[in-house]
Structure 1
Amino acid sequence: MRESGAIDTIVQDIIASLKDLPGALLPILHGIQDKLGYIPAETVPAIAKALNLSRAEVHGVISFYHYFRETPPGKTTVHLCRAESCQAKGAKALEAHVKNKLGIDYHETTADGAFSLEPVYCLGLCSVSPSMQIGEELYGHASAELFDSVINAEEASA
Structure 2
Amino acid sequence: MDDTQAGVLNTIEELVASMKHKPGALLPILHGIQDHFGYIPDPAIEIIASHLRYTAADVHGVISFYHYFRSERPGRHVIEICRAEACQAQGGREFERHVREKLNIGLDQTTPNQDISLKAVYCLGNCATGPSIRVGDQIKGRMSPAKFDRLVDELTTFKLELK
- Same fold, TM-score > 0.5, yes or no: yes
Classify the secondary structure of the residue corresponding to 1:26: helix
1:46 CA displacement: 0.5
- The whole-number CA distance in structure 2 between the counterparts of 1:86 and 1:10 is 40
SS of 1:153's partner is helix
Deviation at 1:52, TM superposition (A): 0.4
How many Å apart are 1:105 and its aligned residue? 1.0
Are residue 116 (structure 1) and residue 141 (structure 2) matched? no
Q: What is the DSSP-based 3-state SS (H/G/I as helix, E as strand, rest coil) of the residue aligned with 1:77? A: strand
Q: Secondary structure at the match of 2:36?
A: helix
SS at match of 1:3: helix
Give structure 1 regions of 4+ aligned residues with deviation exceeding 4 angstroms: none
Partner-residue secondary structure (3-state), 2:86: helix
Distance of 2:53 and 2:82 partners within structure 1 = 37
- Alignment pair present for 1:24 and 2:25: yes
Report the more deviating stretch, 6-15 or 59-68: 6-15
Counterpart AA for 1:12: E
Matched, 1:137 2:131: no
**Partners in 1 of 2:111 and 2:6 — Cα distance?**
27
C-alpha distance in 1 between matches for 2:41 and 2:114: 16
Residues in 1 aligned to 2:118 and 2:77: alpha-carbon distance in whole angstroms: 9
Read off the aligned partner of 1:88 and give its amino acid letter: A
Q: Distance in 1 between matches of 2:87 and 2:4?
A: 41
- Displacement of 1:43 in angstroms is 1.4
Identity of aligned residues (%): 44
Q: Structure 2: give runs of 5+ residues left out of the alignment.
A: none
Cα deviation digits, residues 67-114 of structure 1 (max 9, x gap): 110000000011001111111111111111111111111111111100
TM-score (norm. length: structure 1): 0.96
Partner of 1:8: 9
Is 1:96–2:101 an aligned residue pair? no
Q: What count of residue pairs does the alignment treat as equivalent? A: 157
Aligned to 1:54: 55
TM superposition score normalised by structure 2: 0.93
Equivalent position amino acid for 1:126 in 2: C
- Tell me the distance in 1 between the aligned counterparts of 2:107 and 2:76: 15
The alpha-carbon deviation at position 153 of structure 1 amounts to: 1.1
Measured in 2, the distance between the counterparts of 1:102 and 1:61 equals 29
Structure 1: any 5+ residue segments left out of the alignment?
Answer: none
Alpha-carbon RMSD across the aligned residues, in angstroms, is 1.1
Q: Which amino acid aligns with 1:109?
A: T
Determine the structure 2 residue equivalent to 1:42.
43
Which whole-Å CA distance do the structure 2 matches of 1:62 and 1:95 have between them? 26
Shift in Å, 1:135: 2.8
